């Protein structure tokens, strides 16, 4: 009985040390995290911004970013209403404070600091005392677990219907195993979804890397998967495309190759 009591206490203590949220449990795991930052592009600054993003690829900038726990910075743009936005996505050292990722990026080097001169802060970022808004990270699927650079990276954008926000969040806290499996089978990895309030809309951004060598065949496999179809029927009902977009998702414009 004494042994059982000790075991029970140890189990309760272990559970108390863990978070109930899958998101927080991931942050506590010390594994690499992913970050989505967003800011508004200043008027007439898109060309200058593209040049500034290219400068992040220099050896010196990459070394400085790595020293700040940041790797694989990708940049994408999209215009919503009268405002054009730039989204940055990168890997972040999981042993560092996740909520400091925006500050870490801003102070990493001269090249990252220069981006603040070409962009405007989201109002929520100003309240958080950062220039870039670190978007709410609601889903992550590792997918194909292989090292090395990706063959391609994309970021897509849509909106979540206000009356379906709770349903959409719940779905992505409990992603179906078959959906997770299919991400890997189709040679995709690092699927990440972020939310941000922009121009009165709850805007959703999805980042995805492809690491295979037969994209058309892999895409067809994903599109014809029965579990995916049932999943998309649930998620599509929660989403509304941005104006001018035919399907649910609209592709963002990449700023670095």
Tens of pLDDT, residue by residue over 89-133, are 999 999 999 999 999 999 999 999 999 999 999 999 999 999 999
Residue ending a domain, choose from 134, 160, 180: 134
Note the pLDDT of residue 125.
97
Residue 204 within any structural domain of the chain = yes
Residue 226: CATH number of its domain: 3.30.70.100
How many structural domains are present in the chain? 2
* Residue 20: predicted pLDDT: 85
- Residue 213: DSSP 8-state: S
CA-CA distance, 47 to 159, in Å (whole number)? 27
pTM to 2 decimals? 0.92
Distance of CA 88 to the CA centre of its chain: 9
**Residue finishing a domain among 112, 134, 156:** 134
Domain boundary among 79, 102, 134: 134
Q: Which domain holds residue 244?
A: 138-252
Residue 211: how many other CB atoms lie within 10 Å: 20
Q: What is the DSSP letter of 45?
A: -
> Can you give the pLDDT at residue 19?
75
Q: Kindly state whether residues 171 and 219 are assigned to the same domain.
A: yes
The whole-number pLDDT of residue 1 equals 52
Distance CA 3, CA 9 (A): 10
What is the crossing angle of helices 226-236 and 165-173, to 10°? 150
DSSP 3-state assignment of 218?
Answer: helix
- pLDDT for 3: 57
Same structural domain, 216 and 160: yes
Burial of 149 (0-12, 13-18, 19+ CB in 10 A): exposed
Low-confidence ranges of the chain (pLDDT < 70): 1-18, 257
- Are 28 and 96 in the same domain? yes
Instruction: Specify if 175 maps to a domain.
Output: yes
Q: Which helix (H) or strand (E) holds 171?
A: helix 165-173
Output the domain CATH number for residue 120. Answer: 3.30.70
């Amino acid at each position: 009985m004494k042994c059982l009591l000790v075991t029970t206490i140890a189990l309760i203590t272990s559970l108390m040390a863990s978070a109930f949220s899958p998101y927080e449990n991931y942050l506590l795991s010390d594994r690499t995290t992913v970050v989505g930052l967003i800011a508004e592009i200043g008027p007439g600054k898109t060309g200058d911004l593209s040049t500034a993003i290219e400068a992040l690829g220099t050896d010196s900038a990459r070394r400085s970013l790595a020293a700040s726990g940041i790797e694989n910075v990708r940049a994408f743009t999209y215009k919503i209403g009268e405002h054009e936005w730039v989204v940055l996505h990168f890997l972040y050292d999981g042993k560092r404070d996740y909520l400091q990722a925006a500050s870490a990026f801003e102070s990493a080097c001269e090249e990252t600091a220069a981006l603040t001169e070409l962009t405007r802060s989201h109002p929520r970022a100003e309240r958080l005392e950062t220039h870039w808004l670190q978007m709410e990270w609601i889903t992550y699927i590792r997918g194909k677990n292989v090292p090395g650079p990706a063959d391609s990276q994309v970021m897509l954008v849509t909106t979540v219907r206000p009356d379906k926000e709770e349903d959409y969040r719940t779905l992505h806290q409990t992603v179906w195993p078959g959906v997770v499996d299919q991400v890997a089978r189709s040679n995709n990895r690092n699927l990440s979804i972020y939310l941000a309030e922009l121009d009165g809309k709850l805007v959703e951004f999805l980042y995805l890397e492809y690491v295979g060598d037969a994209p058309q065949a892999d895409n067809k496999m994903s599109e014809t998967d029965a579990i995916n179809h049932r999943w998309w029927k649930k998620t599509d009902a929660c989403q509304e495309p941005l104006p001018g977009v035919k399907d649910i998702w609209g592709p963002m414009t990449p700023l670095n190759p």
